[in-house]
Amino acid sequence: MLVAEARRVSFPLSVEALGTARANESIDVRPQVSEVITRIHFEEGQRVEAGQVLVDLENREALADVAAGRANLIDFENQLRRSRELFDTRAVAASEVDQRKAQRDAARAALDAAESRLSETRVRAPFAGRVGLRRVSLGSLVTPSTVITTLDDTDTIKLDFDVPETALSRLEVGLDVSARSAAWREQVFVGRVASIDTRVDPVSRSITVRALVPNPDGLLRPGMFLTVAVVRQDVTSLLVPEQSLVPDQSRQFVYVVAEDGLVEKREIRTGRRRPGEVEILTGLEEGERVVAEGTQKARPGSKVNVVGEIPGSSQAAAPVPVAPATAP
């Protein structure tokens, strides 16, 4: 019978998956207070910078509260100053100075609160991005539940996709990914793996991977569907001929031939395949020989007559794709 040696060779990994584009940052722009819109500062689809004012709300009452707070603060600061001068001449007790100081501090806190309420009448962009459709009009009464517009930072796209758990050991942060969209068939979008989820889905036996894809031209939009490929060239695998596998129900075995010719039946775990060869994940060591032809005649513990050896692969293989994960 013919034997083959388990050899470790270059076996590039290509994981193919289906992904969804997400904005790097994305929010619904809402006000913090209930007021009437007095001015709108943006156009639909406009790019805005962080801190830029998007909408002004009615603020006359808030302005009055700030003015009253400043006046009270000035008054209490003057009273505190006079109390300290009188204390220096022993005309007032120290307790009165402390009381004036507490009143000054309370007035300062009240002014801070009034200024905070005033700032809430100006709706600003929390980060740079592009606004969406305007959903309010001048004079609209808005509440904290009202969506004024959307804001998305799409300079970088988060591309989330699921891969089978069998590919997990070969994935790592920093791997290059390429993606294609049905909207831009000739365009290849290149990015890198940024993070890998900490949990495997118990139903689909897949794990979510997130890649960051530069999007300077704005071609990719949140929610778009893309096909993704992750290629890793520096992967080596232990390979044996596919015909050496001996299936037994859901388990896989090979007949290992020792130096003295004795046969051992050993359970193995397989991985990826390519024409004529299969990857061995566990159960076999590099350099061990397995029965490649004549497995039906091999018996554990028996001695075999080796008539030849099948040459192992010595050339690098083209990437073999790992199909997208599907639920069992």
pLDDT tens for each residue of 140-154? 999 999 999 999 999
Alpha-helix runs per DSSP H in 89-206: 94-119
Give the CA-trace dihedral at 77, 79, 80, 81, to 10 degrees: 90
Structure tokens at 78: 């003057």
Catalogue all structural domains in the chain, each as residue range(s) with its CATH number.
Answer: 2-11+235-322 (2.40.420.20), 14-25+153-232 (2.40.30.170), 32-58+121-147 (2.40.50.100), 60-120 (1.10.287.470)
CA dihedral for 241, 243, 244, 249, sign (positive or negative)? positive
What is the pLDDT confidence band of residue 5, given thresholds at 50, 70 and 90? Answer: confident
Distance CA 4, CA 242 (A): 11
pLDDT tens for each residue of 12-29? 777 889 999 999 999 999
What is the pLDDT confidence band of residue 292, given thresholds at 50, 70 and 90? Answer: confident
Distance CA 190, CA 215 (A): 9
| In the predicted structure, residue 167 carries a pLDDT above the cut 60 | yes
The predicted structure's pLDDT at residue 326:
47
167-185 CB burial, b ≥16 within 10 A, e <16: beebbeeebebbbebeeee
What is the pLDDT confidence band of residue 10, given thresholds at 50, 70 and 90? Answer: confident
| In the predicted structure, residue 313 carries a pLDDT above the cut 60 | no
Q: Which of 166, 158, 160 is nearest to 320 (CA)?
A: 166
Helix (H, G, I), strand (E, B) or coil at 102: helix
Name the DSSP class of 244: G
pTM as predicted: 0.66
Cα-based angle 171, 172, 176 (whole degrees, multiple of 5):
85
Helix (H, G, I), strand (E, B) or coil at 267: strand
Mean predicted confidence (pLDDT) in 239-265 = 88
Q: Which of 81, 79, 82, 73 is nearest to 109 (CA)?
A: 73
Question: For residue 297, what are the contacts with CB-CB under 8 A and spacing of at least 6?
Answer: 1
The predicted structure's pLDDT at residue 209:
95
Mean pLDDT estimate for the chain: 88
pLDDT tens for each residue of 113-124? 999 999 999 999
pLDDT tens for each residue of 175-213? 899 999 999 988 999 999 999 999 999 999 999 999 999
| In the predicted structure, residue 323 carries a pLDDT above the cut 70 | no
| In the predicted structure, residue 311 carries a pLDDT above the cut 90 | no
Phi-psi region of 170 (alpha: psi -120 to 50; beta: other; left: phi over 0): alpha
- Tell me which residue has tokens 């891969």: 163
The predicted structure's pLDDT at residue 312:
56
